[in-house]
Structure 1
């Protein structure tokens, strides 16, 4: 009877892959026109990045996370999470795709091939746990039902009329044509894929000089089809100065509701 129970326990553990968040945070955020990278701008008396780290580390599926930082980052020691043992540091790369790959390599020997990795923009501090629930429910159901989907990303359906622009010789941009918005989505994060599959896809794309704008695009380049999971529209990415005020508003609303 003991041997049977041990076998069942072993099978159960194999059926429950771990989930590893990876947060690229090595960018300089030049479009913010600030004196420091955007992840270190103040937001409700904390670093913007600290809000993101707190929401990720408080999610039940995440025991640890990988934070990808510039090796010359002078601001990290002032973070509230600088000495948190749950954070695994990885060195930043020249572009996001290299940083994410460095984050994946930092998990070698810890992550199993079929573990999930969730890559999230550190400049998206307004993510809700309910969106994480929906994302993991989608990938887990896909794995159970063997639908063939390689993973999933949070996304938002396009609501506005979309125009394809064309640059004129004088530098101005005019409308070339209106793009049909049906089935157009704004890609958000997190983006969730199997550890080994994402690592292999990124390595393949970089070795073959293929364009990688996000993790889903790397999977697309190797003929995979990630799921689109509708997420909240307040999961904004702080990119420009006006975004910071909007993030502050959304966080205030979230705090008032909790």
Structure 2
């Protein structure tokens, strides 16, 4: 049984290019209220009393990170990410397991483009995982009617309506034991499994992660219209 720690490190995969944002630079470096999305996200994490260290995985040719004030912060570590999210997360986990395995036996992973995470949701995730002594993720129950599609003559049509009563939107942070998560990601890559988030890798290893209900405004900036929505949410909190 792994002892649950009092302090945490967070891995932030930030090597993506954000093609769906239709901009000429990665979405994590778009500006919101005079700071980049990445700066909002990391500042938000480090202001939580139980988070001591953030490991950011950026692309090898990243031209932007070194220009941010984050690059000079002592408890922000930069590592080289990979082509896929799983590669970037694994890079951050490799750093932690090499230098901080005893200090941070559990680790969070949080999307770089989720700047609206609240401290209350972080507390809920930590507390519920601690009580269950099980890793878990923030998630939001699906509210809309869900449809499964099929392609016909180049068009998407409805194949069936899916029961949404047990469906959830996976959010981040996701919180798991460091060594177990690293092993699950490595095994998934070796076996050429599809890994969409950390929980999916743990599931492939036979783990049943906890679902912790979080706020639906913990949105991931993916489409151009998400930027205005994130700006609104941050303005409301100020």
Short-chain TM bin: over 0.9
Give the Cα–Cα distance (whole angstroms) in 2 for the partners of residues 84 and 16 of structure 1: 23
| Candidates 122, 125, 138, aligned match of 2:128 | 138
Contact kept? 2:138, 2:172, Cα under 8 Å: yes
Task: State the superposition RMSD in angstroms.
Answer: 1.3
* Aligned-residue offset at 1:113: 8.8
- Structure having the higher Rg: 1
Aligned positions of 1:1-258 closer than 5 A = 16=5, 18-107=7-96, 108-112=98-102, 115-143=105-133, 149=134, 151-168=135-152, 170-255=153-238
Q: Distance in 2 between matches of 1:20 and 1:113?
A: 9
TM-fit CA distance, 1:112:
2.6
Number of equivalences: 235
Provide the C-alpha distance between the structure 1 equivalents of 2:47 and 2:27, rounded to a whole number of angstroms.
22
Tell me if the contact between 1:156 and 1:231 (Cα under 8 Å) persists in the aligned partners.
Answer: yes
Deviations 1:3-32 (A, max 9, x none): xxxxxxxxxxx6635411000000000100
**Structure 2: distance between partners of 1:132 and 1:221:** 25
Comparing 188-197 and 77-86, the one that deviates more? 77-86
Distance 1:133 1:46, change over 3 A: same
Q: CA 1:224–1:113 in 2, change beyond 3 Å: closer, same or farther?
A: farther
**For residues 134-173 of structure 1, what are the alpha-carbon distances to aligned partners after superposition, in whole Å with 9 as ceiling and x for unaligned?**
0000111112xxxxx3x010000001100000112x2210
Q: Deviations over 1:67-116 (max 9, x none)?
A: 00112111112212121111111111110001100110011131239711
Between the aligned partners of 2:214 and 2:4, the Cα distance in structure 1 is: 26
Give the TM-score, by structure 1 length: 0.88
Give distance in 2, aligned partners of 1:136 and 1:245.
30
Q: Which residue in the other structure is 1:5 paired with?
A: none
Unaligned runs of 5+ in 2: none
Q: Structure 1 unaligned runs (5+)?
A: 1-13, 144-148
Q: Which runs of 4+ in 1 moved over 6 A?
A: none
Label 1:113 to 1:195 Cα distance change in 2 as closer, same or farther (>3 A).
farther
Counterpart for residue 3 of structure 1: none
Structure-2 separation of matches of 1:44 and 1:36: 18
Q: TM-score normalized by structure 2?
A: 0.96
Q: Is the 8 A contact 2:142 2:167 kept in 1?
A: yes
